[in-house]
Structure 1
């Protein structure tokens, strides 16, 4: 549940950050020469699309869907890489987002599933 909630929050923040980057080009600081330099419209689309996918996967994790757990680990790892590349634009938020993604990976990888009790409660005699 922890990972699902974090993914949902991270996805919503990604969507909001993507919309902000698409709406106004002066919302984020201009970066000089940086290896991973894209224009803000490109970064906006990256954050918007990734945010939607992360939020939907977070909903899947909350519902307990098996596919969402594996995809969630992959998306969280991708979020770490994207936020590292986004570091010069929003350094504090990028570090917070990287930490959240690390917690998501940890929570999804250490969860051993829900224990189901298959013992019957009614016995016939």
Structure 2
């Protein structure tokens, strides 16, 4: 007897469902995205620390910080996000929980970063929302790598 992808095995109780392939694949993709976004955030931080004239804010903004402060924020957040992304890829439960928290923090910080890089900030916000969705919908605890 054959089964279709996403359907429970023949020995499973009636009404049981296997984890969604979208959610499981999305979690792996979320781990990769977090690691890559962390590296990009590290680069953003280094650039903001090295040269203050690279990022020029567009207009006046309520949540204006010094670029050196933004550089440290991006650098530290990037290092932590890379570590959590690796934890997610290894299937650690702490990685999933920390990933949700850090993705939410990243969305908030990229909203505040909008005047410096509007397009990249919007892309980072969208990626953060996807990461939160993927990590909240997958209940599988098996290692990804």
Say whether the fold is shared (TM-score over 0.5): yes
Written as runs of structure 1 = structure 2, the 5 A alignment for 1:99-110 is 99-110=126-137
68, 88, 102: which one aligns with 1:75? 102
Aligned length: 115
When the two chains are superposed, the root-mean-square deviation of aligned CA atoms in Å is 1.2
Deviates more, 1:45-54 or 1:105-114: 105-114
CA distance in structure 1 between the aligned counterparts of 2:67 and 2:88, rounded to whole angstroms: 31
Higher helix share: 1
Q: Secondary structure at the match of 2:61?
A: coil
TM-score under structure 2 length normalisation:
0.76
TM-score under structure 1 length normalisation:
0.88
Structure 1, gaps ≥5 residues long: 116-125
Aligned twin of 1:112? 139
Aligned twin of 1:118? none
Aligned twin of 1:51? 78
1:39 is aligned to 2:66: yes
Q: Secondary structure at the match of 1:80?
A: helix
Structure 2, gaps ≥5 residues long: 1-27
CA contact (8 A) 2:48 2:55 kept: yes
1:5 is aligned to 2:5: no
Aligned twin of 1:97? 124
